[in-house]
Amino acid sequence: MKDEIETEIRDFVGSLGLDHHAILPADGNLGAALEAWAAEFDVGTDPTSLPFRLAVTETVESDGPAAQASGTALSGETAPGDRVKILPRGSEAKIARAESEGDRMTLWFETPVKVMPGDLIAAADAPAEVADQFEAKLLWLSDQDMLPGRPYRMRIGAATVYCTAASPKFKLNLETHEELAARKLEAGEIGVCNLALERDVAFDPHSENPATGRFALLHRRSDKVVGVGVLNFALRRASNIHRQAMAIDKGARAGQKNQKPAILWFTGLSGSGKSTIADIVSQKLHALERHTATLDGDNVRHGLNRDLGFTDVDRVENIRRIAEVSKLMVDAGLIVLTSFISPFRAERQMARSIVETDEFVEIYIDTPLAEAERRDAKGLYKKARAGEIKNFTGIDSPYEPPRRAEIVVDTMRLGPEEAAENIISWLEERGYLN
C-alpha cells in the first residue's frame, strides 16, 4: 500500500507539470502517513461519470469567430453544441469543435471568449465552485515545518496562486486517527487547516470530484513540492465578504499629505540599531511635515501581539499581523516605519507582496553578530548565551539577511544620524516626499 500511494502522489504531482522525483522528506519516513493518506486518493469514482472539467494550459487568440483553448481533460465529456463556463470569471461560451488525444483536449468556441492559462472550463449546467478560502486536509512533505502565516504557492489544476495556511485545526495521530492539537505540521504529518488564497480559483470539493479537489503546495520561490492536499469545502466567508469601494482612496489621502505612502521596513539583528535609526528617520520626516506612523517590535508586543512568543510559528504570525496593519496605514496615505528583526526572508517577502511594488522599502541594518552582541544594551545576548532565553535570533534561531534590500546601512561605517540622512535622501530622490 505504501508504494502504491507513493506512486499515486508522484503521478499526481507529475500531472501538474511538477518534478515528481524529489518530493519526499530526506529521511523518507512516511510509511504511516502514506497509509493514512491512501483513503484520500482512493475515491473509486469513474472520472468520465463526473461533470466536464478542463484545466486550461494554452490559449490561442483568433481574429475569426472562434477562440481556442487547450489543456488537460480532468473529468467528464463534452461535444460541439455544449455550453461551458470559463472559471473563475464565469463567462459562458458554446463549443464549436473539440479534439482529444489521450487526456489532452483542444476546444474551439462559436464566439470570441476570454480564456487564459490557469482557467477551468466546466459544464455550464454543472459548474465548479469558485472561492479564495477553504478548509483543506494536508499531507506535509517538506523537512521545513509548515508554519501558519508563511506564504506558499498552490498548484490546483493548471492554476498557480499564492496562499497562506492558518494554524492547524488538528493533526492526526497516524496510529489511532485521533485528532490532536497542533500549531504546525512537520514532515510526514497530516492535518486539517484553513487556506487563504490571493485570488479566486475554481474547484470542486474533493469528495465530489477528486480531479479538481486536490492540490500541491510549493515553496514560494521554487517548484519544490512541500505538501499535497485535498479541499474539503469553501469557507462561507469566502463568498459573503467583499471589499468595499471607498470614495476617498489611498491616492486622495496621500495627495492631501503631499507624500507617497510606503512601508519602510527596518530589519536586522537585535542590537543592530534598527529602532534608533528608524526613530531618527521619523523625526526628520516629522520636521519635513510628512505624516508617519511607527511600529516597533517591543512596543507592538505590549499590545497587538502580546499573545505571541518567539518560536518560529509565533515569529511568522507576528510579522503577518504587522504587515496587515502596515498595509492599512499605507491605505491611509501614511509613511509607515516598522522596526522588527523579522528574521525570515519568506515573511519579509510576504509583507512586500501585500502592497504595491514601490510601496515596500526594505532597509537592512547590517551589523555583524559580534558587534550586536558587544553592544547588548538590554543584556539579551548574555541571557541567550546562558540559556535563559530560548529561540533568540543569531544564537539558537536563524537570521536570513536580505538578498536585495532597497537600502543597506553598514553600521560599522555609518552612525545613526548619517544613516538616517542617507535614508531621507533616498526617499527624496525617488519621489516619496514629493
Instruction: Enumerate the active-site residues.
Output: 342
* Residue count of the chain: 434
153 vs 398: CA distance, rounded Å: 23
Please report where in the chains the cell 485570488 appears, as a residue.
199
Provide the angle, in degrees to the nearest 10, between the axes of the packed helices 312-331 and 250-257: 70
Cα–Cα nearest to 126, from 179, 53, 181: 53
Q: Please, are residues 223 and 300 in contact by the beta-carbon 8 Å criterion?
A: no
Centre a 10 Å sphere on the Cβ of residue 70 and count the other Cβ atoms it contains: 17
Please list, in sequence order, all residues whose beta carbon lies within 8 angstroms of the beta carbon of residue 295, skipping any fewer than 6 positions away. 322, 325, 326, 336, 337, 338, 339, 340
Q: Please, are residues 340 and 322 in contact by the beta-carbon 8 Å criterion?
A: yes
Please report where in the chains the cell 519526499 appears, as a residue.
24
255 vs 251: CA distance, rounded Å: 6
Rg over CA atoms, the chain: 25
